[in-house]
Amino acid sequence: MVDIGLVAAAYLLGSVPFGLVVARCRGGVDLRRVGSGNIGATNVLRAAGATAAVLTLLGDAGKGAVAMGLGRWIGASPSLLAVLGVAVVLGHLFPLFAGFRGGKGVATALGVVLVAMPAVGGLLIVIWLLTAWYWRYSSLAALVAATALPELAWLLDGRPALVALGAALLLLILWRHRDNLRRLRAGTEGRIGEKARAGGRETSG
């Protein structure tokens, strides 16, 4: 029962829609009505500016970090840690407190990995930054970093449950970015720094 409660708590934590709250407080913007309609940091950047985007990024990553930190604090097994990591990301993807319409899970997944596998998380940040700097696509940077996650988890950590966690996070991120993949192939994906427009394109976040 304790494990079930922890998993439920991780999902509820993931459901906290930081992007909606920050955009509303910083710019009076309803994220669901501008840009992509996504509640992640990229759409916040377009809709409410850099400061709001950073606050959203910290909040979303913090959800994953807190869930995993709680698991480590109570001495959870690697298998339970992996389940908690998936639960908090699912909360972000399908948030109870935002009508089950969530973000792409990238920042929350990063928070999970940074606490569960710090070396892997650090390398993912480097990969994301380099990819985003060169190509200027947030979605592409997220996809490249996520694709590297399972292999890095295997090489630098090696615990089977956490390697499985890396694979699960990759699959969730790929699924949530399926429209971005189509737009990247078509050359119509929005770049980092473009302003949000009503009914616009959905980017990573």
Distances (CA, A) of 8 to 52, 83, 84, 89: 28, 10, 9, 12
Determine contact, residues 3/70, Cβ cutoff 8 Å.
Answer: no
Position 192 in a domain: no
Q: How many CB atoms sit inside 10 A of residue 82's CB? A: 26
Q: Which domain holds residue 27?
A: 2-186
Within a domain: 204: no
pLDDT band at 26 (very low <50, low <70, confident <90, very high): confident
Q: Which amino acid, 13?
A: L
Tens digit of each residue's pLDDT (9 = 90 or more) over 109-127: 999 999 999 999 999 999 9
Q: Per the domain annotation, does 142 fall within a domain?
A: yes
* Number of domains making up the chain: 1
Give domain status of residue 66, yes or no: yes
Average pLDDT over residues 151-172: 98
Asked whether residue 193 is domain-assigned, the answer is no
